[in-house]
């Protein structure tokens, strides 16, 4: 599908994401600079990982308020698919496109390690190629991935099947409530997750468990 | 005019840093310390000279950027 | 041009011996300045001299010896003397790399000290036009029992991660050691590796008169003033008083600076570029001019400042981070400015190149400095420091066997120097850029360079206790182990960078360690065809008369034509044969076994036979490239048994070793050099042993890969779980306790 | 007893956060804002009832853990 990667200063996993999207979906994403006021005509907007604005103030806070995000919000309201990974997830919560917040890891340390993710909802544009309940290996690399939302919100996410990925087998690396690793919005077109599937798609990465996630994008198109 | 803004987590919001600090203080032998919560403190100068104007401007800054009002409260001290 | 009489020129009364001493200049060095100028320097000029002539920038104690190192080879594009070394990796690719110390700042403020150390070395690499693709770090801390050690470890590791993770470079390797001799002087050596196009490399040599000298990046503050001089002065216990000079790193600005520089380099706007490191504006400007036989005029009123009222002296010595100096083609000024503004960075024309060969600094209309630019660099004092050859250690007799082999093994794998470093490297993003082919924990890190599978291997190595016991052999060994670690993953070792950390060179015995270590490094590099293309020297690592262990860190890079042929140390399959290449060891002098089990740090280190080293390494590499081995690991700290344990833990498979060849505990713990363990399918064994024999290489069949436990017939049986608990346990436990 | 501790960067120490916040405020259209500096704010309860005792205890906590006195100053408010 036609996709765009949104680039904020300090984003640093855009290259990884570009490679993953291109090598799996076969189409090279357009890159859009944060200062632009309009998103080109695409079906999917991706906000990759990194440290936009150095993660200063609150991670994602400053990027969430940049010009391009206004258009992302407007188009998301009209069904544009949006995928936020790591810092991208943080930006989406700060922008109000997804509920909750991502706070400091409970261990207070940055953690880069492999975790196990359970696909809790496979009826999304990013998981439709996997069986519900599939467990995939996937790396995380973050210091503030500890998902938090009030009990009511979490209960809603559970009830509405909006928890897309959950850390399983005692691999929750950050203390996230209910082992939440990734969620989707009510309308089903905005997904955010902390782990880095783009770093788990080929033999060199030790496994390609996360390839099907990107293949799902093709189906969704 | 100088402004001091303190930003604190709302009641019930998870505070890993506060918890960790409390634990660390304990293991350093500091007993009788409770409910440690960490927030932010921002100092800045506003050229605005009218206090009310300045305050409402600072309020807007907090609402728009400085605080995440979903989880944080803010308090503004002026002058 | 006339110097302003007052203010700018300090009245004679101000140029006191004290003031001169505070600037780290010896009386005879100050006399040299007077002779050079034929007048008294201004205070700004004194600051400039102190920056240019201190050990850190002038290498005045070490240069004579560094010149003896081999620096050429068919893959060398640029040797020492530029911001970093450059080697040819084929297909038009160049690898640019260097290592640098940030020892003193890290001791004073571990997080910021380590962070800005990483920032500095990354800048050295992208200044030359390379995108950083890997970072490593060699760390030395005091005794785990020392009250400050835990604080320093957590701060340094967090700082390295904090900077590299945010900047976006994978931190993939390094070393961590503990020893009481580092109690008052920790070592933080950071290495960065970048990838560039061989025909798009940028140098610091300015060319052309009347060209704009441009200031880029972050604003100038009062950070680290005298940092450079401080980094070359012996610590006393009042080190904390030097606190105000602490620099704070801003990885976000550095990331923007990287992108802006690479974007600008794509146009042909850049004539010369130089990062502002130690003694910032002074060193970078003088270097650009002196190298190009040009003069430089600076107008400090144009320098973007973070604080009001900064003096010329402060601006010239500020070590604010994330700054660059460039000489631009005038017609490209607009383009350049637009790019830097886009990335939210400062851009200011602060001077011009001249044909006067003078370094002139103006501020508020006054000339604050007017100095001969060549002499500033070239005429820096050089010292042939007196040195004495260190005494060789008496040979070591009768080292007792352990009372209980199993508990000895457990003690070793859970010792500070041999335990797993996972606690450290999990705080580093070692995956970003998605080319990491071998994680930390192996013999060398491996990074894929392109789609065809060409890859780079990198490692840092030195065994300080060996260097302390015999500086020459220890110097050789550092190079040999680095070369061996690269070989162990199947790489062709290409070149090295070094970071020579020593004590006070004004002590003949310390200077002797330095001299002999450099000789050893040179001989090893020559014998192994492993040229030195960049490096860094850190002297005066001494507190209250106690110097560090001599620590010449060697950082090496190697080339792997096809990453699919890479070897890892993990046991792969039950039933694989385990072969020892290089024969059984006997040398227990300076071994970890001797230190950890018998609490003795004695004897000579294992000697390195460089011919053997090369023969064995080339043999093993050929086996790996031919796909005839399933795993490979070199034997280093701890000896054979530790190497087997590491392979077992990495592969979560055990091994069954036949007792027959294990003559005594020396076979298990000796640290004889030039040895490897490989595994292979049983049907391949005879062929390998035969090939080895035909080359006169000692090769022994040790046993087989097995399930669940590490067994040495009749001597030892230990479950992997028990081994793993001991190996993984120490670091986290230490950091929590 | 409630204690409020504000931790600020020493004068002249680079504050990347403050810099970024100032920039962000600017691009959000908030003009006339200068010298933004970010610090920490920590709230906690001490069981200690004697004010002097409490203060000296808090001072020790700041020196040992809460503040990085190499680059930060701290200020304690009690009760
Ligand atoms: N500071 C560090 N940062 C990243 N990786 C490290 C660090 N220290 C050690 N490691 C990794 O731990 C492993 C063991 O280190 P070391 O014992 O020095 O290996 P070797 O004996 O092969 O030189 C290596 O893969 C090394 O890269
Ligand atoms: Mg090794």
> Ramachandran region of residue A184, left (φ > 0), alpha (ψ -120 to 50) or beta?
beta
Burial annotation A90-124 (CB, 10 A radius, 16+ → b, else e): bbbbbbebbbbbbbbbbbbbbbbbbbbbbbbbbeb
Task: Name the minimum distance, in Å, from the CA of A139 to any CA of chain B.
Answer: 22
Token readout for B45 is 């100068």
Decide if pLDDT at C683 tops 70.
yes
**Looking at the DSSP assignment, which residues form a beta bridge with residue A192?**
A84, A183
Q: Which residue of D has its CA nearest to A53?
A: D20
Please confirm, yes or no, whether A170 is among the known catalytic residues: no
Which pLDDT score, from 0 to 100, does residue A204 have?
96
Task: Report residue C63 CA to chain centroid gap.
Answer: 18
User: Ligand 2 centroid to C633 CA: how many Å?
Assistant: 6
Q: Whose CA is nearest to atom 22 of ligand 1?
A: C443
| Mean pLDDT score of chain C | 93
Residues for chain A: how many in total?
221
Angle between helices C720-736 and C149-167 (to 10 degrees): 100
C470, two tokens: 């015999």
Task: State yes or no: is A138 an active-site residue.
Answer: no
Terminal-residue alpha carbon distance, chain A: 5
DSSP state letter for C299: E
Residue A39 has pLDDT above 50, yes or no: yes
Nearest-angstrom CA–CA distance, A154 and A133: 19
Q: Is residue C392 packed enough to be buried (19+ CB in 10 Å), middle (13-18) or exposed (0-12)?
A: exposed
Q: Which of D21, D27, D28 sits opposite A56 (nearest CB)?
A: D21
Question: According to the model, what pLDDT value does residue C5 have?
Answer: 39
Distance between CA atoms of A17 and A196, rounded to whole angstroms?
9
Cβ-nearest to A106 among B12, B16, B70: B16
Which residues of chain D have a CB within 8 Å of the CB of B46? 32-34
Least confident of A102-111, C194-203, C305-314, C442-451: C305-314
Residues B25, B30, B35, B36, CA torsion sign: negative
Q: Give me the phi and psi of C21, to 5 degrees please.
A: -65, -40
Mean of the pLDDT values across residues A83-111?
A: 96
C226, pLDDT greater than 70: no
Question: In whole angstroms, what is the distance from residue B41 CA to residue D21 CA?
Answer: 12
Q: Residues of C649-685 as b/e, b for ≥16 C-beta within 10 angstroms?
A: bbbebbbbbbeeebeebbbbbbbbbbbbbbbbeeebb
The preferred substitution site among C440, C443, C463, C642 for testing ligand 1, maximizing ligand atoms within 8 Å of CB, is C440
In the predicted model, is pLDDT for residue A73 greater than 80?
Answer: yes
What's the token pair of residue A108? Answer: 């207070």
Cβ atoms of C704 and C577 closer than 8 Å: yes
The predicted-structure confidence for A3-21, as pLDDT tens digits, reads as follows 999 999 999 999 999 999 9
Contact C321, C250 (CB under 8 A): yes
Indicate whether C278 pLDDT > 90: no
Q: Which of B40, B65, B70 sits opposite A65 (nearest CB)?
A: B65
Between C55 and A215, the more confident residue is A215
For the question of an ipTM over 0.90, the answer is yes
Specify the pLDDT at position C234.
Answer: 52
Q: What residues of chain C lie within 8 A of the CB of D12, using their CB? A: 221-223, 244, 307
Confidence of residue C263 (pLDDT cuts 50, 70, 90): very high
Q: What percent of chain A has pLDDT over 90?
A: 97
Q: Report d(CA C102, CA C654) in Å as an integer.
A: 41
Residue C238 pLDDT exceeds 50: no
pLDDT band at C240 (very low <50, low <70, confident <90, very high): very low
Give the model confidence (pLDDT) of D55-67 as tens digits. 999 999 999 999 9
Residue C439 Cα: closest atom of ligand 1: 25
Give yes or no for a contact between C496 and C530, defined as CB atoms under 8 angstroms apart. Answer: yes
What is residue C392's predicted lDDT score, i.e. its pLDDT?
Answer: 87
Query: Does C413 have pLDDT greater than 50?
Result: yes
Q: How far is CA A113 from the centre of its chain?
A: 17
Question: Are D14 and C108 an interchain contact pair (Cβ–Cβ within 8 Å)?
Answer: no
Residue entry with tokens 């293309």: C533
- In order, the DSSP letters of A36-76 are -S---S-SEEEE--B-GGGG-SSTTHHHHTSHHHHHHHHHH
pLDDT mean over A33-48: 95
Q: Would you say C135 and C171 are in contact if contact means Cβ atoms under 8 Å apart?
A: yes
- pLDDT: is C655 or B20 the higher one? C655
pLDDT at B59 over 60: yes
Q: Average pLDDT, stretch A138-155?
A: 97
Give the Cα separation of C151 and C109 in Å (integer): 10
What's the CA gap between C362 and C285, in Å, rounded?
Answer: 14
Residues in B touching A103 (Cβ below 8 Å): 14-16
CB distance C55 to C232 below 8 Å: yes
Bridge partners, residue A44, by sequence: A3, A81
Helix spans in C355-463 (H) = 373-378, 405-413, 422-425
Question: Which residue out of C157, C159, C161, C173 has the highest number of ligand 1 atoms within 8 Å of its CB and is therefore the one to mutate?
Answer: C173
Name every residue whose Cβ is closer than 8 Å to that of residue A147 and which is 6 or more positions away in sequence.
A100, A101, A102, A174, A176, A177, A180, A181, A183, A194
| DSSP state string for C125-185 | HHTTTPEEEEEEEEEEE--TTSTTHHHHHHHHHHHHHHHHHHHT--EEEEEEEE-GGGSS-
Q: pLDDT under 50 in chain D at which residues?
A: none
Q: Which residues of A touch B20 (CB under 8 A)?
A: 108
Q: Read off the DSSP letter of residue C607.
A: P
Q: Which residue has a Cα nearest atom 8 of ligand 1?
A: C175
Q: Cβ of A89 under 8 Å from any chain D Cβ?
A: no
For residues C504-527, give the mean pLDDT. 97
């Amino acid at each position: 599908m036609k996709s765009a990667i949104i680039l904020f200063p300090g984003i640093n996993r855009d290259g990884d994401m570009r490679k993953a999207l291109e090598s799996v979906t076969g189409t090279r994403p357009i890159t859009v600079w944060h200062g632009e006021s309009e998103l080109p005509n695409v079906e999917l907007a991706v906000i990759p990982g990194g440290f936009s604005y150095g993660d200063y103030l609150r991670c994602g806070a400053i990027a969430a308020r940049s010009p391009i995000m206004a258009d992302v919000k407007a188009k998301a309201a009209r069904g544009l698919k949006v995928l936020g990974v790591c810092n991208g997830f943080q930006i989406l919560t700060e922008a109000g496109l997804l509920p909750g917040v991502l706070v400091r890891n409970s261990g207070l340390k940055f953690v880069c390690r492999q975790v196990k993710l359970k696909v809790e909802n496979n009826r999304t544009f990013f998981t439709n190629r996997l069986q519900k309940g599939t467990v995939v290996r996937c790396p995380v690399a973050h210091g503030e991935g500890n998902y938090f939302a009030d009990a009511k919100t979490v209960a809603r996410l559970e009830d509405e099947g909006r928890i897309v990925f959950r850390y399983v087998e005692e691999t929750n690396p950050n203390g996230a409530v209910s082992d939440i690793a990734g969620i989707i919005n009510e309308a089903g077109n905005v997904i955010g997750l902390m782990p880095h599937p783009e770093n788990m798609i080929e033999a060199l990465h030790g496994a390609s468990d996360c390839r099907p996630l990107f293949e799902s994008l093709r189906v969704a198109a | 005019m100088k402004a001091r803004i303190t930003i604190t987590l709302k009641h019930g919001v998870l505070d890993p840093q506060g918890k960790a600090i409390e634990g660390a203080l304990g293991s350093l032998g500091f007993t009788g310390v409770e409910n440690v919560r960490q927030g932010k403190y921002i100092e800045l100068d506003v050229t605005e000279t009218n206090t009310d104007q300045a305050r409402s401007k600072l309020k807007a800054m907090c609402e728009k950027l400085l605080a995440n009002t979903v989880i944080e409260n803010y308090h503004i001290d002026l002058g | 041009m006339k110097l302003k009489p007052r203010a700018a020129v300090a009245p004679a009364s101000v140029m006191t011996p004290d003031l001169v001493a505070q600037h780290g200049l010896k009386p005879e060095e100050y006399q040299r300045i007077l002779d050079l100028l034929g007048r008294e320097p201004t205070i700004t000029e004194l600051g400039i001299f102190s920056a240019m002539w201190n050990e850190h920038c002038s290498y005045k104690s070490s240069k004579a010896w560094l010149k003896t190192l081999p620096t050429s080879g068919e893959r060398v594009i640029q040797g020492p003397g530029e911001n970093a070394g450059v080697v040819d990796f084929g297909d038009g690719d160049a690898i640019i790399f260097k290592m640098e110390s940030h020892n003193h700042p890290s001791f004073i403020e571990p997080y910021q000290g380590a962070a800005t150390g990483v920032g500095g070395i990354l800048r050295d690499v992208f200044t030359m036009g390379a995108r950083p693709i890997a970072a490593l770090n060699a760390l030395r801390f005091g005794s785990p029992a020392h009250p400050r050690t835990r604080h320093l470890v957590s701060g340094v590791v967090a700082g390295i991660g904090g900077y590299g993770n945010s900047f976006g470079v994978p931190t993939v390797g390094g070393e961590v050691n503990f020893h009481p001799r580092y109690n008052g002087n920790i070592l933080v050596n950071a290495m960065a590796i970048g990838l560039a196009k061989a025909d798009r490399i940028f140098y610091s040599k300015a060319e052309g008169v009347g060209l704009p000298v441009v200031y880029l990046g972050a604003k100038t503050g009062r950070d680290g003033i005298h940092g450079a001089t401080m980094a070359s002065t012996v610590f006393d216990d009042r080190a904390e008083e030097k606190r105000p000079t602490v620099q704070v790193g801003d990885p976000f600005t550095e990331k923007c600076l990287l992108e802006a520089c690479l974007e600008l380099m794509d146009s042909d706007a850049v004539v010369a570029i130089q990062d502002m490191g130690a003694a910032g504006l002074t060193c970078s400007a003088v270097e650009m001019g002196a190298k190009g036989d040009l003069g430089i005029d600076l107008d400090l009123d144009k320098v973007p400042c973070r604080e009001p009222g900064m003096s010329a002296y402060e601006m010239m010595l500020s070590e604010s981070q994330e700054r660059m100096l460039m000489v631009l083609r005038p017609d490209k000024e607009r383009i350049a400015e637009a790019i830097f503004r886009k990335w939210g960075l400062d851009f200011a024309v602060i001077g011009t190149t001249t044909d006067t060969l003078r370094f002139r600094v103006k501020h508020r209309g006054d000339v604050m400095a007017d100095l001969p630019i060549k002499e500033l660099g070239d005429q820096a004092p050089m010292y042939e420091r007196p040195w004495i050859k260190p005494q060789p250690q008496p040979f070591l007799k009768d080292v007792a066997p352990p009372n209980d082999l199993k508990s000895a093994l457990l003690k070793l794998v859970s010792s500070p120097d041999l335990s797993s470093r996972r606690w450290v490297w999990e705080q580093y993003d070692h995956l970003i850029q998605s080319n990491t082919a071998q994680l930390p924990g192996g013999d060398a890190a491996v990074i894929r360079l392109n789609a065809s599978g060409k890859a780079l291997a990198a490692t840092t190595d030195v065994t300080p206790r060996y260097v302390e016991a015999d500086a020459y052999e220890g110097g050789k060994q550092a190079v040999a182990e680095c070369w061996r670690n690269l070989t162990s993953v199947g790489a062709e070792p290409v070149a090295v960078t070094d970071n020579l950390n020593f004590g006070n060179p004004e002590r003949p015995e310390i200077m002797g360690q330095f001299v002999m270590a450099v000789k050893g490094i040179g001989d090893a590099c020559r014998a192994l065809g492993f040229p030195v293309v960049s490096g860094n020297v850190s002297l005066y690592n001494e507190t209250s008369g106690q110097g560090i262990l001599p620590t010449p860190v060697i950082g090496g890079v190697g080339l792997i034509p096809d990453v699919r042929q890479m070897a890892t140390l993990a046991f792969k399959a039950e039933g694989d044969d385990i072969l020892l290449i290089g024969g059984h060891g006997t040398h227990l002098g300076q071994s970890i076994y001797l230190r950890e089990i018998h609490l003795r740090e004695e004897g000579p280190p294992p000697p390195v036979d460089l011919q053997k080293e090369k023969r064995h390494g080339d043999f093993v590499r050929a086996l790996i490239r031919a796909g005839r081995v399933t795993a490979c690991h070199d034997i280093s700290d701890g000896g054979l048994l530790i190497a087997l344990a590491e392979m077992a833990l990495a592969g979560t498979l055990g091994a069954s070793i036949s007792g027959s060849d294990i003559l005594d505990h020396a076979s298990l713990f000796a640290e004889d050099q030039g040895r490897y363990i490989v595994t292979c399918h049983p049907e391949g064994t005879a062929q390998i042993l035969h090939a080895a024999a035909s080359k006169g290489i000692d090769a022994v069949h040790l046993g087989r890969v097995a399930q669940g436990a590490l067994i040495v017939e009749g001597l030892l049986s230990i479950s992997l779980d028990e081994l793993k608990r001991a190996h993984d346990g120490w670091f986290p436990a230490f950091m929590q306790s």
